[in-house]
Structure 1
Amino acid sequence: MLTALKDSMPILIVTSEWYVSHTTAVAEKLFAPVDNVINKHLEDLFIFPLCVEEQQKTIADGSLVQVSLRTSPNVQFLLSFYDVRSNEIFVHIAELSTYYCQNPLEDEQTRILRHAVNSANLGVWCYDLLNKTAYFSPKFKSLIGLPASAELDWDTLKSMIYHEDQPLFAELLAHHIEQGLMLHFEFRLEVRGTIHWFEFKGEQVKYCIRTHSVYGILADCTHEKDMLVALHDAEESKELAMQAGKIGTWRAIRVANQWIWNWDHQANEIFKLSEDDIGNLHLWEASLHPDDKARVTQALEASLNSGETFEQRYRGLLNDKDIVVVYAKGVVGLDEQGRPARIDGVVIDQTDVYIAQKKLQHINQELEQRVAERTADLEAAIIKAEQANRTKSDFLSMMSHELRTPMNGIIGSLDLMALSELDEDNQELLETASISANNLVSILNDILDLAKVEQGKMELESYPFSPSKMLNNIIKTFEAHARDKSVKLTVHEDIKLPLEVIGDENRVRQIIFNVVSNAIKFSVADREGGAKVTINVHWACEGVALSHLIFKIEDNGIGIAPEVQKKLFTPFTQAERSITRKYGGTGLGLAICGKLIDLMGGKVVLKSKSGEGSTFTITIPIWRPRTQQQPNILFNTLYWLSDTPWQSSLALTQLYNACTHFCNELKVIESPNEIKETDDTALIRVVTTQAGVCAEQIISPIPELVFLDEKAFANLNSTALTTQKPKPIAPQTQYAIGQLLSKLKVSQQNDEADLGELNDLSELDALLSLDNKVSSPTDDESDTSGKQHILLAEDNPFNQKLIVKQLSRLGVSCDIANNGKEALAMYKSQQYQLLLTDCHMPEIDGYELTKLIRAFESTEERSAIPIVAVTGAAMKGDKELCLDSGMNDYVSKPVRLQELKNTLGKWLDMDFTQ
């Protein structure tokens, strides 16, 4: 038999003790390199799942046992045991692959199964419990992130599993093998840095009653797991939201002709029902508030019958005492026939909202009552405030009138005196007094305008002005004061400074006025080199139209401590009380300056140290006019003769630069012999040394201006200089130099004319014209023939006298009425070309006088007389009050001659320009 089989089948014949007695040639080849297997025990040739003794007990005729080759454990065979005769067992050896592929039909089924498994993205695995070996399909390895060629054993797979899932993996596999429980669970495993979820299934395969292997599949269920987690989170979030919002759900389904009701635990909790009460509609109806029950049940029944949405807000009684307020809404669903088949809805506990609304209503009622009370109090306070404001306005108007009345006399007299023939000293004193008086009026205007200050704002004006002229006015105001305090006052103007800019001159002057005043006030005469105050004016262009005026005011006075600098621009703030006692002042000046600078959009920077002086740098945005004013060329050539180079000091540089604006050429010479005498030349002689003073006795062949420094003035004797009264080198502004050169030009044209120093060239021209037309007669000598005759209503004798002189100077005669009553009588009895009236007078004031005159004109059909108000009131609205009462125009005290002339020129048939 063996001979017949030896060439075809691997067969062994063993004894009952499993020793090999015969073998075929095919079988021998399986055991290579073992040369002879005869008398070998099967255990020497194969690795059995059990020990030999146990294994032999399980063997019977036809038994199958899966074994591994001893020499190659990875090679597995299936041994078939057959009893041939007594004490001999026939053992057939078959490889596992051969065994499972003997049937062609089974092979085709296997291929189909393999393709199906791959297309389903399933990994196949097999674990041999006997040999502790495992098989993993290429798809299995791909699913867990390994290449198909990678080596993978069972222990490696377990180590790759997420550490929290490893115990579960081992435990469930053991339960499956030992107890036959279903092997189906999920575990996590990291794939390419990301945690994936896998579904693990398996089933054991037994040979000879015992489990030899476990086969199964692996599927990636990460997506499904994520969806479940998201669904769970959403459900949990919904539950939490429903609980937080106290929202319950309810539903009813129609079965036959009955409605089956149900609601969730949250809805049950809202109505404080027990678990067994869920779905009991009668108990829910019993919990409704008696006042709401009929309405709610009828609405619900109507919705169930009609299919309309159910929506009600109602109350429920809990335990016959507590009230719950709910909002319920339900949507009806229809069946295929369009009949209501179900209703689904929500119920929301709004008790807290209801309570809050009740409290809010109560609070609103209280607030409305309080608002009504406060409104009444406020209205009463407004009435009092308006009364106080009217009182304040009346007081300010009265004070304005009382203060402006004497100022009118001062400034008017100065205006008239300026038209008189005065020597140069008196003319200069007159100019200083006039500038100081006008500055006082400006300060008075700021003080009286309390409404602007109280509101924290002021209305800025915008008009052309000369920055140099403004600076010159400030210098003239403080020049004598600085000289008395032995303070050297110096000014330096940027050569690029325009002749004219656009802005609020009064406010800019007020700022610089205050800072310069403080600099001189707090100067110290015993400083090394003497007390000094320097004003530097710079011009910084920022564009086509907008630029900046920068004032840098330096002093070497007492300085300001750092802790005081922080609050220096706060009202009523000074360094310390001893400073106030020594130097005086209210502490308001810089506070007002700070507000004005902020209002203009500028800034101020302070640098100071105690005992070393202070530097204020003030930057103010300013507009340039579209057409720049050209310099007034007074001389073709100016000669500059100085014993010191003009670049040697700031004061000389300022003087030199100022002169360049008024000539076509400024020539520096060393001797009068270099002068070429013509009709359009003048000499600027600068003396800073005693030698220069002596040289000054040389007479110039052309008109000249002489400037001396402090030392030269001290060494000057009365006979040294006779041609011109010398002027100080500093402080001199561009405007002041223009004034001096203008006078020199007039002197050159008319040696006999001595017109004095004037405010500006336009005033000079006007005055020359005026003097040619009008003489300066006294009151008694005035010839009124050909003059305009007007009526003056004024109760103040000083103002009467002043205005009469001003009118006489303008060629106008007048009659005087001491009050409004006299003025009305005189108006009715005579014909006048104009009425000039004060607003505040006894008997009848100017406003009432105007109304009476207008009424008389209307009744008597008399032509309207021009009425011009002359008043000291300067509050906002005063001009409108004058015009509303029937007046034609308005002149504010102090009355200036030029302003009076301009106003009368509009209403009288006279040519004041001649």
Structure 2
Amino acid sequence: MGRKSREVKMSSRAQTITRAFMLYAGLPMILVILLVVGWISTTRIIYYMEQREAVMNQINQQVLRMDGFPADRIHEIEAIRRERLLPHERQLFQDLSLAFAILVIGLTVPVLVSRHVASMVESNLSLLNDRLASGGREGSALMPHTFNFNEFDELVQTLRRTLRERGETEQRWKRAEKELVAANADLLARAEELKNGRKVALSMMEDAENARNELERANARLNEAIEQARESAREADVANKAKSDFLATMSHEIRTPLNGVIGFIEMLRETELDEEQEDYVETIRTSGQSLMELINDILDFSKIESGHMNMEVRQFHLVRMLRQVVALFFNDAGSKGISLELEVEPSVPRDVFGDETRIRQIIINLLGNALKFTDKGEIRLVVSCIHIPKPSDPQGRCELEFEVRDTGIGMDDVQMQNLFRPFSQGDTSTTRKYGGTGLGLAISKRLAEAMGGRIWATSAPGEGSSFFTRIKVGLPTPEESPTESEPEAAPATTARSSGQAEAKAGDNLPLRISVAEDNLANQRVLMIMLKRLGWQADFYENGEQLVEALSESEGDLVFMDLQMPVMDGLEATQAIREGRAGESNRSIKIVALTANALSGDAERCMNAGMDAYLAKPIKIERLKSTILSLFPVDV
């Protein structure tokens, strides 16, 4: 009875202890577990609903943006929805499963732990009671059966580890969610950009098509303009050729009679004349010379305008050339009481490479212009060197400056504006008073620019003018420079002493001379000049007569006019060089006589086989020097 009562008592005590543990430990733990599980489940369900709504909205927006959405793609859209919701559903299922597992564990563990702890406490109490009842005799035997709480530590560690892993999983999931949202936003932005880009591309394609059409129209207009330009160029070439032919013809027709006029005037000056006759002859000579200068200016300007002006670059003595040019104006300057001076700075090189003829022409134009408009005072030609090449660059170009300074009438600003224009002078009154064509400065400007330089002027009314010209020339190397200074040009002799010297040429150099010239006046002029030089000549009216005459006799020298009837000078020269005038006359010296002065005449004559070139009107000194250059002899 007592044992049964004790067992009932122990059972009742165990239940009481179990209820106490359940009430004070297990129940709070269960409530906490329920709260945690409920919170987790609610959060995951809410997140799933938000994600599901976001996916649905995204798909709906994409469907709305589609133009002409067909009804038969509803199943496809539903499949896409399920596919995009599947990861979220799977994640929700995992989260709910975890929450259910936590709930089960949270409900089971407290009950089992409470029972286990109650059983252990009851056992320990029973053991303690037995020990106290036995007076401690069995205390040592009861020690191994004392309660150990290490199981709770392991459970806590397990729960902590589970919660930590859960937190890390939650953080990773949130990061993945943010990345997915960002990627989705980027995808939508890219889609919008592509949509806008498509619109821009379509607009650009339309613009490109319009531009292509416009380009085709522009090309058509350009081709039409090119064809018109070509036609204009052909017409310009024809007009230019016609102008060149006209100039050549007019040059020949004007120079031919002028050659006779000037030639006979020169011959007449050498005869015995009284003072009045000398005045008349000088007036005629001056007029003829002015007419020749006018023709030369017009031809030079025409050659420059047509681009046929060729530069003949060679080495010459600059200072000697300048002195010769200044000497040409001494008499005229002295007759007007004007001082004419030449000033050459020490830095100016003496020997240079350039076109001596064109440089001489520019300076003559400037000096003649200064002398024309100056009645008193002085005219000064100042030559300086603006730029000298460095010793390390011996092939460099030297820039020379020529200043022609006068004390003449001067010019105002309005007159200066028209100064270098063709066929213009200061004003009409100036033209009437001083004469001239107005081409000299225009030609000088073009020549200076052709030689890499420029020309300009400064002036004031009543205070004179200064004309500046800069020209680039080359410098000879030390090997090319002359070892000795060349003598200056000898003063010009009088006409009569010149005639006496010329008479010696024919005595020391007997020649058989033939002349082909169709103009009787020119024949007579050339006959008189040759006679004064000591030679006799046979005259023929065309090249055919000359070739026939030479085929029957030998000759030493032929003066050949270029433009003649029946056979011109070039054809006759070719016939002679081919042997039609006899083998002995193949190498006869032939000098071209022509009234043409256009660019290329000398080259054509030399290419045809001629040896020298004389332009009409012919001066006796030039005639003599040409003959002596072909037949050197001491006279």
TM-score range, shorter chain: 0.5 to 0.7
2:283 counterpart of 1:489:
no
Task: Flag the structure with more relative contact order, 1 or 2, with Cα contacts below 8 A and sequence separation at least 6.
Answer: 2
Contact in 2 for aligned 1:537/1:550 (Cα 8 Å) = yes
Task: Output the amino acid matched with 1:794.
Answer: E
Residue in 2 that maps onto 1:565 = 416
Residue in 1 that maps onto 2:56 = none
**Which of 265, 268, 273 is residue 67 of structure 2 equivalent to?**
273
Taking a change above 3 Å as real, the CA distance of residues 632 and 739 of structure 1, as seen in their structure-2 partners, is farther
Contact in 2 for aligned 1:838/1:869 (Cα 8 Å) = yes
Name the one with the larger strand percent: 1
Taking a change above 3 Å as real, the CA distance of residues 416 and 278 of structure 1, as seen in their structure-2 partners, is farther
Residue in 1 that maps onto 2:540 = 817
Residue in 2 that maps onto 1:838 = 561
Q: CA deviation at 1:870?
A: 1.9
**Which of 614, 621, 626 is residue 465 of structure 2 equivalent to?**
614
Residue in 2 that maps onto 1:596 = 447
Q: CA deviation at 1:838?
A: 0.9
Q: Matched residues in 2 for 1:852 and 1:895: separation?
A: 26
Task: Output the amino acid matched with 1:912.
Answer: V
Q: Deviations over 1:261-283 (max 9, x none)?
A: x9998x998xx826899999999
Q: Matched residues in 1 for 2:441 and 2:75: separation?
A: 84
Counterparts of 1:7-22 in structure 2 under 5 Å?
A: none
2:298 counterpart of 1:447:
yes
Contact in 2 for aligned 1:435/1:477 (Cα 8 Å) = no
The alignment partner of 1:595 has SS state of helix
Q: Matched residues in 1 for 2:264 and 2:564: separation?
A: 22
Q: CA deviation at 1:388?
A: 1.8
Taking a change above 3 Å as real, the CA distance of residues 773 and 542 of structure 1, as seen in their structure-2 partners, is closer
Taking a change above 3 Å as real, the CA distance of residues 381 and 863 of structure 1, as seen in their structure-2 partners, is same
Q: CA deviation at 1:818?
A: 1.4
Counterparts of 1:431-830 in structure 2 under 5 Å?
A: 444-450=295-301, 452-454=303-305, 458-483=309-334, 486-494=336-344, 496=346, 500-523=351-374, 530-538=376-384, 542-543=388-389, 547=398, 549-604=400-455, 606-625=457-476, 626=478, 627=481, 630=484, 739=491, 774-775=506-507, 787-808=510-531, 813-830=536-553
Contact in 1 for aligned 2:333/2:340 (Cα 8 Å) = no
The alignment partner of 1:791 has SS state of strand
Q: Matched residues in 2 for 1:837 and 1:790: separation?
A: 11
Q: CA deviation at 1:844?
A: 2.8
So what's the TM-score if we normalise by structure 1?
0.40
Counterparts of 1:82-481 in structure 2 under 5 Å?
A: 273=67, 348=198, 350-367=201-218, 369-371=220-222, 373-406=224-257, 408-409=259-260, 444-450=295-301, 452-454=303-305, 458-481=309-332
Contact in 2 for aligned 1:739/1:757 (Cα 8 Å) = no
Taking a change above 3 Å as real, the CA distance of residues 518 and 473 of structure 1, as seen in their structure-2 partners, is same
**CA RMSD, aligned part only?**
5.3
Contact in 1 for aligned 2:507/2:534 (Cα 8 Å) = no
Q: Deviations over 1:465-520 (max 9, x none)?
A: 44454444444544444455x44223143373666544333333333333333333
The alignment partner of 1:448 has SS state of helix
Q: Matched residues in 2 for 1:385 and 1:281: separation?
A: 81
Contact in 1 for aligned 2:593/2:613 (Cα 8 Å) = yes
Q: Matched residues in 2 for 1:278 and 1:511: separation?
A: 97
The alignment partner of 1:739 has SS state of coil
Residue in 2 that maps onto 1:912 = 633
Q: Deviations over 1:577-615 (max 9, x none)?
A: 443344344443333333333343445554432232223
Q: Matched residues in 2 for 1:832 and 1:606: separation?
A: 55
Q: CA deviation at 1:794?
A: 0.5
Contact in 1 for aligned 2:301/2:439 (Cα 8 Å) = no
Question: What is the count of residue pairs matched by the alignment?
Answer: 446
Taking a change above 3 Å as real, the CA distance of residues 457 and 564 of structure 1, as seen in their structure-2 partners, is farther
Taking a change above 3 Å as real, the CA distance of residues 456 and 863 of structure 1, as seen in their structure-2 partners, is closer
**Which of 570, 574, 579 is residue 847 of structure 1 equivalent to?**
570
The alignment partner of 2:338 has SS state of strand
Task: Output the amino acid matched with 2:523.
Answer: Q
Q: Matched residues in 1 for 2:409 and 2:507: separation?
A: 54
Contact in 2 for aligned 1:834/1:865 (Cα 8 Å) = no
Contact in 2 for aligned 1:792/1:836 (Cα 8 Å) = yes
Taking a change above 3 Å as real, the CA distance of residues 442 and 771 of structure 1, as seen in their structure-2 partners, is same
Q: Matched residues in 2 for 1:433 and 1:623: separation?
A: 42
Taking a change above 3 Å as real, the CA distance of residues 572 and 801 of structure 1, as seen in their structure-2 partners, is closer
Q: Matched residues in 2 for 1:411 and 1:489: separation?
A: 30
Q: CA deviation at 1:810?
A: 6.0
Q: Matched residues in 2 for 1:483 and 1:281: separation?
A: 120
Structure 2's unaligned 5+ residue stretches are 1-58, 78-190
Task: Output the amino acid matched with 1:820.
Answer: G
Name the one with the larger helix percent: 2
Q: Matched residues, percent identical?
A: 31
Residue in 1 that maps onto 2:126 = none
Taking a change above 3 Å as real, the CA distance of residues 902 and 369 of structure 1, as seen in their structure-2 partners, is same
Structure 1's unaligned 5+ residue stretches are 1-261, 284-343, 634-734, 744-753, 759-763, 777-785
The alignment partner of 2:358 has SS state of helix
Q: Matched residues in 2 for 1:278 and 1:861: separation?
A: 111
Counterparts of 1:21-40 in structure 2 under 5 Å?
A: none
Q: Matched residues in 1 for 2:288 and 2:64: separation?
A: 93
Q: Matched residues in 2 for 1:884 and 1:365: separation?
A: 50
Q: Deviations over 1:779-838 (max 9, x none)?
A: xxxxxxx94424321011232223334445666543211123433443444444454321
Q: Matched residues in 2 for 1:398 and 1:787: separation?
A: 36
